[in-house]
């Protein structure tokens, strides 16, 4: 998951070899949803946009194409190794927790899978709302990890139990690093409390069969977190069986709910 935080608080390392397949899997699943949420009138030619925790840069590049040569997109992350600047796309290393907002006149600010990892997420959200231009939009998108994943089919009951055991352990690791697994449920109210208007939320979930890009995300996450998963008492054999299960076409699971919330700063202020 892309992020704007550095040090042990963030669970995943964007410098890891597993970061590239992780980012690509997230983009494959989430980019079409995000594209619909930031489509015109939010994105318009000549617009000024800020993409936070830009990760692999797919959303930032789409923004740059939409705003055209008269517009400007700023893509920030604490690890910019997967980002490349372009004519109207600036890349900047930035820690959204501690660095001041890089301006206060953005027509669109987008943060995907960032704030749920930040213990001071509410303060940061207020900073983002304050960086909008009058009439500008803030779009915050998160996974809601508060409900157990629903296994739809599995080759055996033991396989389904193993999947639940490993994914529960991964969620425990996320929480130990300061993540709020239910934060997605609070974003709508937080945008409204920040004074934004026209706040609306949509959710998306779908089945991920074994061998799909979506299912591969769980396997990639388990590789990123393997040392900590082993510390929980899981064995290397269990992790290998978990990854094998995720390649099995007899297995299918529902994804976490992806929650997309947006709101607009009043035009007069």
Report phi then psi at 153, rounded to 5: -145, 150
Residue 138, domain CATH: 3.40.50.150
Inside any domain, residue 179: yes
Inside any domain, residue 31: yes
Inside any domain, residue 5: no
Residues 6+ away with beta carbon under 8 Å from 247: 210, 211, 215, 219
Its pTM stands at 0.92
Inside any domain, residue 198: yes
Residues 6+ away with beta carbon under 8 Å from 158: none
H helices of 88-131, where? 121-130
Tell me which residue range forms the domain holding 74.
19-264
Per-residue pLDDT of the chain (269 residues; tens, 9 = 90+): 443 333 445 556 566 667 788 888 899 999 999 999 999 999 999 999 999 999 999 999 999 999 999 999 999 999 999 999 999 999 999 999 999 999 999 999 999 999 999 999 999 999 999 999 999 999 999 999 998 899 999 999 999 999 999 999 999 999 999 999 999 999 999 999 999 999 999 999 999 999 999 999 999 999 999 999 999 999 999 999 999 999 999 999 999 999 999 999 999 76
**Which strands make up the sheet holding 151-153, listed edge to edge?**
151-153, 252-254, 207-209
Inside any domain, residue 93: yes
Inside any domain, residue 132: yes
Inside any domain, residue 11: no
Tally of structural domains, the chain? 1
Inside any domain, residue 28: yes
Q: Above pLDDT 90, what percent of the chain?
A: 89
Question: Which has the closest alpha carbon to 80: 53, 99, 61?
Answer: 53
DSSP helix/strand/coil, 152: strand
* Structure tokens belonging to residue 41: 């009138």
CB 70 within 8 A of CB 45: yes
* Structure tokens belonging to residue 16: 């890891």
């Amino acid at each position: 998951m892309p992020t704007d935080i550095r040090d042990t608080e963030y669970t995943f390392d964007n410098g890891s070899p597993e970061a590239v397949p992780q980012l690509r899997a997230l983009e494959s699943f989430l980019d079409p949803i995000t594209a619909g949420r930031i489509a015109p009138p939010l994105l318009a030619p000549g617009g000024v946009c800020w993409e936070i925790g830009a990760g692999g840069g797919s959303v930032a590049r789409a923004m740059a194409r939409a705003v055209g040569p008269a517009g400007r997109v700023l893509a920030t992350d604490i690890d910019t190794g997967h980002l490349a600047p372009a004519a109207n796309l600036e890349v900047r290393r930035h820690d959204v927790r501690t660095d001041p907002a890089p301006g206060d006149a953005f027509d669109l600010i987008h943060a995907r899978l960032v704030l749920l990892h930040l213990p001071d997420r509410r303060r940061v959200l207020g900073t983002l709302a304050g960086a909008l231009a009058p009439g500008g939009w803030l779009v915050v998108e998160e996974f809601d990890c508060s409900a157990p994943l629903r296994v739809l089919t599995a080759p055996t009951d033991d396989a389904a139990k193993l999947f639940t055991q490993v994914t529960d352990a991964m969620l425990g690791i996320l929480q130990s690093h300061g993540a709020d697994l239910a934060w997605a449920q609070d974003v709508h109210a937080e945008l409204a409390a920040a004074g934004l208007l026209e706040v609306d939320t949509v959710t998306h979930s779908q089945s991920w069969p074994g061998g799909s890009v979506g299912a591969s995300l769980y396997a990639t996450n388990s590789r990123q977190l393997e040392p900590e998963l082993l510390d929980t008492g899981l064995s290397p054999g269990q992790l290998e069986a978990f990854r094998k299960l995720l390649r099995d076409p007899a297995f299918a699971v529902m994804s976490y709910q992806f929650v997309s919330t947006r709101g607009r700063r009043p035009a007069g202020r």
